[in-house]
Amino acid sequence: MNAKEIKELIDLMNANDLLELEVVEEGTKIRLKKMYDGGTKIMPMPMPAAPAAAPAAGAAPASGTPAAPATKAGAHVIKSPMVGTFYRSASPDSAPYVDVGDPVKPESVVCILEAMKVFNEIRAEMEGRIVQILVENGEAVEYGQPLFAVEPA
Amino acid sequence: MAQTRSINFGLLRFLKRQERPVLPSEIEDKLDIDHGDLIEELEIMADAGYEVELHPYLGVRLLDIPDRLLEHEISESLNTKVVGRKLHIFASCASTSDEIWALVEKGACKDGELALADAQTKGRGRMGRAWESAGGKGVYLSFFANLKIPEDKVQVVTCAASLAVANTIEQFAHLPATIKWPNDVYVGKRKVAGILVEARSDHPGKYVVGIGVNVNQTEGDFPEELRDIATSLRIERRTGPVNRVRLLRPLLFYLDNVFAQVRKKKFERVANAWKEYAGGVGKKVKLTHSGKEIAGTLLELNPVEGIRLRDERGKEQTFRPEHVLTIQEIS
């Protein structure tokens, strides 16, 4: 796979607002993942439908620099209710509670936040589908920091 | 155990009140039972694990209560206002915290409601690690704490629990207890108790506090790989078995007291008492924060205000307590 093809894949990701893409071909496997750089950019975005605040995903620069993806219009943000450390799974060897694309119910556990051994199971508290995971596993999070973007059902 | 008849509680209470042995004839008179019945009642008590002595000259004496999680013994000795006023006792369960969560989820849990188990099949520690919960050897309990505290003070819940455990070990077992950040209780260089507090975002203000104390394990009860890092009250005291029911009384009392302070938002007071047990200030340490390790000299260790460290380049850094996962002393 050459650089041009990889760039095409990045454009494809931008065009479709994808966060992760894995392509397996004979002998090659390529996995592209967008990193979310910092939590502040998404915070001021009002949750209720505010078209002006949501730039069209397709208009992302085709230069290939993966800019911080904006949440889709109408996407709900699950915020951190506390200061702590973010974990995507119950233990280092178990599967993540949720992945991008997974459906969630109000009682679904999406992650765990730990603050001095207080383990807080964060529930989706809504029905929908996970569209973005905004924090890396093991990262320190602040109060009110967005953790997930969920597209309401 | 096939126990056809239940204990005669009147007789039990009577014997507990006595300071010296009592002649059978005196008991028979006072409780209005005949000699045959008295002997039978005493046998039932002995079968239940009570240590009863029947001396041919001196009479009857109750030497000790059984090391069994008997509800009447625990409730009777309880001197708390909130913690343990409602009790659930299990011979074995997956995890006492799960039992309490099930009640909380149903909306049927009272503040302080407590689950106790003789053995746990899925006792858990931090990050899904198993907690050794051998049958009859330790105290495994979880209780519900309904606390309206600000979200930047949740770490006080852990402090409160570890403080109560350390206090109990010092006062009841007369062993020097220390707390290792943030919540493990040590005697010497080995861990004797662990605490795990859980919350769920759809139940704000509701906490389930899980505590595991190693009480009667001997060295041989721990798997080889734990012998250097785990200990029990029995191992440390070297004076034979410790009665778990007797240990519960001060433990629940201290938990009740400390959580009353948390409820009254006396966070500084809890933090200061906690600091008495937590060593490390002035020592060289390595702390983990956001997946990174930072080494330096520990200047301050405050679970509410934060942690101050002078790093290896002499720069002072302050960390929020909630973000520091572990602190290890380095030599």
Task: State which H helix or E strand residue B12 sits in.
Answer: helix B9-17
CB B186 within 8 A of CB B97: no
CATH number for the domain that contains residue B296? 2.30.30
Residues B202 and B296 in one domain: no
Q: pTM for the complete prediction?
A: 0.78
- Which pLDDT score, from 0 to 100, does residue B261 have? 95
Nearest Cα to Cα of residue B329 among B284, B267, B292? B284
Torsion angles phi and psi, residue B311, rounded to 5: -75, 180
Residues B122 and B263 in one domain: yes
Torsion angles phi and psi, residue A144, rounded to 5: 85, 0
Neighbours of A77 (CB within 10 A): 19
User: In chain A, which residues have their Cβ closer than 8 Å to the Cβ of B183?
Assistant: 116-117
> pLDDT grade, residue A69 (50/70/90)?
very low
Cα separation, B286 vs B298, in Å, equals 9
SS3 state of residue A152: strand
What letter does residue B220 receive in the DSSP assignment? G
Tokens read off for B146 = 């309904």
Residue in chain A lying closest to B209 (CA): A118
Residues 6 or more apart from B139 whose CB is under 8 A from it?
A: B116, B211, B212, B213, B215, B244, B247, B248, B251
CB B171 within 8 A of CB B250: yes
- Which pLDDT score, from 0 to 100, does residue A15 have? 65
Residue range of the domain that includes B128: 71-275
| Pairing state between β A118-123 and B190-200 | parallel
Residues B56 and B196 in one domain: no
Best mutation target, A91, A108, A119, A139, to test chain B (most B CBs within 10 A): A119
pLDDT in tens, B134-143: 678 999 999 9
Q: How large is the angle between the packed helices B267-277 and B244-263, nearest 10 degrees?
A: 140
With CB atoms and an 8 Å threshold, state whether B325 touches A85: yes
Residues B262 and B178 in one domain: yes
Domain boundary among B275, B294, B321: B275
Residues B135 and B188 in one domain: yes
Q: Where do the domains of chain A lie, and which CATH numbers do they carry?
A: 3-44 (no CATH), 76-152 (2.40.50.100)
Examine residue B4 and state whether it is found in any structural domain, yes or no. no
With CB atoms and an 8 Å threshold, state whether B202 touches A107: yes
- Which pLDDT score, from 0 to 100, does residue A5 have? 73
Residues B46 and B76 in one domain: no
With CB atoms and an 8 Å threshold, state whether B198 touches A123: no
Residues B295 and B236 in one domain: no
Q: Does B321 touch chain A (CB under 8 A)?
A: yes
Residue B328: CA atoms inside 13 Å, Cβ hemisphere, count?
10
Residues B121 and B215 in one domain: yes
B291 or B92: which leads in pLDDT: B92
pLDDT in tens, B152-203: 888 899 999 999 999 999 999 999 999 998 889 999 999 999 999 999 999 9
Average pLDDT rounded to a whole number, residues A11-15: 69
- Which pLDDT score, from 0 to 100, does residue B132 have? 64
What letter does residue B330 receive in the DSSP assignment? -
> pLDDT grade, residue A19 (50/70/90)?
low
Nearest Cα to Cα of residue B156 among B268, B81, B308? B268
Residue B128 scores a pLDDT above 60: no
Total domains present in chain B = 3
User: In chain B, which residues have their Cβ closer than 8 Å to the Cβ of A91?
Assistant: 127-129
User: In chain B, which residues have their Cβ closer than 8 Å to the Cβ of A85?
Assistant: 290, 322-323, 325
pLDDT in tens, B33-69: 999 999 999 999 999 999 999 998 999 999 999 999 9
Residues B289 and B200 in one domain: no
Torsion angles phi and psi, residue A40, rounded to 5: -75, -30
With CB atoms and an 8 Å threshold, state whether B202 touches A143: no
What ipTM describes this predicted complex? 0.74
- Which pLDDT score, from 0 to 100, does residue B99 have? 96
User: In chain A, which residues have their Cβ closer than 8 Å to the Cβ of B270?
Assistant: none
Show which of residues 270-289 on chain B sit within 8 Å of chain A, judged by CB atoms.
289
